Amino acid sequence: MSKSLRNTVWTGLIVGALAFAIYVGWRYADNASTATASAEIIAQGRQVYADQCAACHGADLEGQPDWRSLLPSGRLPAPPHDESGHTWHHADDVLFRIIKEGTATIVGGDYESDMPGFADVLSDAEIRAVLAYIKSTWPERERNYQEGVSQIN
């Protein structure tokens, strides 16, 4: 193997390893930042939740009554975000996309939902803060489960 070819192969290996390390570090940092959010971020998320989410999902994250039963419109009521709901079953990236793009966009098909996307209303940082606030209210078992699901994706 010529010296030039050997240098090209080594450069490719190094660049690939560096790109992988950056990707893994970014994924870990993103998950870790939402799992261990600061009190300031949680407070910001609490305020954004009160302003943008509580009208449908409840001031105490309790959701709408009978949230598992279809409304006359054929859509489901807003689910709770406390431990009695299913929010903690979903990975961070799914929850982020639901808030940003809306439930119907994520579920696909002919699914209809009253949950709009908030891409034009909330910044990515505000969405992460809302998720940090919601997660901060969960008992340890639900937080641990959700953290594990987020690391798989």
DSSP per-residue string spanning the chain? --HHHHHHHHHHHHHHHHHHHHHHHHHHHHHHHHHT--HHHHHHHHHHHHHHTHHHH-TTS--STTTTS--TTSPPPPPP-STTSSGGGS-HHHHHHHHHH-HHHHH-TT---S----TTTS-HHHHHHHHHHHHHTS-HHHHHHHHHHHHH-
In a domain? residue 22: no
Question: Is the Cβ–Cβ distance between 118 and 30 less than 8 Å?
Answer: no
Number of domains in the chain: 1
Q: What is the pLDDT of residues 66-120, one digit of tens each?
A: 999 999 999 999 999 999 999 999 999 999 999 999 998 888 888 889 999 999 9
Q: What is the pLDDT of residues 70-83, one digit of tens each?
A: 999 999 999 999 99
Q: Which residues contact 134 (CB under 8 A, 6 or more apart)?
A: 45, 49, 61, 81, 87
The confidence score (pLDDT) of residue 37 equals 84
In a domain? residue 1: no
Q: What is the pLDDT of residues 15-63, one digit of tens each?
A: 343 333 333 343 433 444 344 689 999 999 999 999 999 999 999 999 9
In a domain? residue 137: yes
* Local confidence band at 4 (pLDDT 50, 70, 90 cut-offs): low
Residue 67 domain boundaries:
37-152
- C-beta neighbour count of 94 within 10 angstroms: 15
The confidence score (pLDDT) of residue 34 equals 42
Average pLDDT of span 123-133: 98
Q: What is the CATH number of the domain that holds 56?
A: 1.10.760.10
% of the chain residues with pLDDT over 90: 68
In a domain? residue 26: no
Which tokens hold the place of 143? 């937080």
In a domain? residue 69: yes
